[in-house]
Amino acid sequence: MKFCSDWKYTQWQSVERVANNDLTRVVILVPIVGYLILFNDQIAEIASFQMIAGVEPGAVSPFFVSGLTKMKFVFLGSLFLLLSNLIFRVFRPQVLELAKGDIEFSARVSERYTVHELAKIESQVFSELWKPRLSLFWLVQDKIRAKKAVVSGYKPEVRSKMFADRGDYISFLVREWWTGEMHTFRAARFASLFLGVTGVILLAIPTLDISQAVVRNVFLSLW
């Protein structure tokens, strides 16, 4: 049996850290930044950042990037993060809202999932289209697990007995399913991750440029 798994940092749980964080939630400023850049000819003077770096009028600029270029980096970076977030929201697996890891999801299953939902998960994992992800589920004493349905018992007392007798099986089963969900829509995952990382880099460039200029000014003033 061949186990198919993408690099951890390209799966949905990792993409979320880039595409759906506090930074991406402020991209509503994109239209405002775009307006300032495109329609206000005086923005370059306002955003020169000379004062914040303590530069005297007529002195050589300590910045590597001009003020207007910094604003363009902010605009493009915010736009990229917005697109990354939109792709993430459209294609992300819904189960990611319930649990951020397979072990956490396994713990929640016994609390929230019905037998009908577990049976549906089991049928998906045992289908011909399913790609095996976790060896801890599929290998039992170095033998491949038979695709035989185990989930049953719709009455509360029967359900409880099933969890008591088949607890490890159910835990490994739902962890296998959760991991499979983190591999869905591969192209969307890579697009969201690429746009998110690029957006962060574009936003970091103006910050680093301003930081180095301020630090240089502080050291020069001390000496």
For the chain, the domains span 8-93+185-222, 98-181
pLDDT of residue 52: 54
**pLDDT by residue (tens digit) across 137-151?**
999 888 999 998 888
Residue 23 predicted with pLDDT over 70: yes
Intra-chain end-to-end CA distance of the chain, in Å? 68
Side-chain half-sphere CA neighbours of 16 within 13 A? 17
Residue 50 predicted with pLDDT over 60: no
Amino acid (one-letter) located at 177? W
DSSP annotation string for 34-97: HHHHHH-TTHHHHTT-TTTTTPPTTSPP--SS-HHHHHHHHHHHHHHHHHHHHHHHHHS-GGGG
- Stated pTM of the model: 0.83
How does residue 28 score in pLDDT terms, banded at 50, 70 and 90?
low
Lowest mean pLDDT among 3-7, 118-122, 156-160: 156-160
Neighbours of 68 (CB within 10 A): 15
Residues 214 and 175: their CA atoms lie apart, in Å, by 49
How does residue 74 score in pLDDT terms, banded at 50, 70 and 90?
confident
pLDDT of residue 211: 78
- Of 149, 137, 126, 119, which is closest to residue 175 (Cα–Cα)? 137
Lowest mean pLDDT among 6-15, 161-170, 177-186, 189-198: 161-170
How does residue 46 score in pLDDT terms, banded at 50, 70 and 90?
low
How does residue 174 score in pLDDT terms, banded at 50, 70 and 90?
very high
